[in-house]
């Protein structure tokens, strides 16, 4: 499956953005999907993840309550709604997918769990 992330851009503190991850090549209704981000000089970190059926979601502590992950399997798309943006949210955001029915709170947030990655979209939040 190929993943295309989009929706990044420049935003002031407190603003909102919605990222999209569109899959092609296969339907993703049997895939867990997650968003990760990587700021300059930092490791890639988990942001949010959603199970294949959308029933379970996970968030990092740094975005909990501000970001929301959702999916529309009919559109083969996963979204990341980002509200109350902060300068520390500045990073390249990547979506990743793995074909699984797992809802493991250990596996879903782990970047080593995913074998399909998109190319990333830049999000920059100014103070």
Q: Where are the beta strands (DSSP E) in 29-114?
A: 31-38, 45-50, 57-59, 67-72, 77-82, 91-99
**pLDDT tens digits, one per residue of 15-50:** 999 999 999 999 999 999 999 999 999 999 999 999
Query: Counting beta carbons within 10 angstroms of the beta carbon of residue 74, is it exposed (0 to 12), middle (13 to 18) or buried (19 or more)?
Result: exposed
Q: With beta carbons less than 8 A apart as the criterion, state whether 30 and 42 touch.
A: no
- Cα–Cα dist 122/6, whole Å: 9
**pLDDT tens digits, one per residue of 45-104:** 999 999 999 999 999 999 999 999 999 999 999 999 999 999 999 999 999 999 999 999
């Amino acid at each position: 499956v190929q993943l295309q992330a989009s929706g990044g851009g420049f935003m002031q503190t407190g603003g909102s953005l919605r990222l999209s991850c569109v899959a092609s090549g296969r339907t993703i209704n049997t895939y867990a999907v997650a968003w990760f981000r990587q700021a300059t000089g930092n490791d890639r970190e988990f942001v949010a993840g959603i199970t294949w059926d959308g029933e379970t979601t996970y968030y990092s502590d740094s975005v909990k309550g501000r970001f929301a992950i959702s999916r529309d399997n009919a559109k083969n798309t996963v979204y990341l709604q980002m509200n109350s943006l902060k300068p520390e949210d500045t990073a390249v955001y990547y979506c990743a997918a793995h074909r699984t029915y797992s809802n493991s709170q250990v596996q879903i947030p782990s970047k080593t769990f995913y074998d399909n990655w998109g190319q990333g979209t830049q999000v920059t939040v100014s103070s």
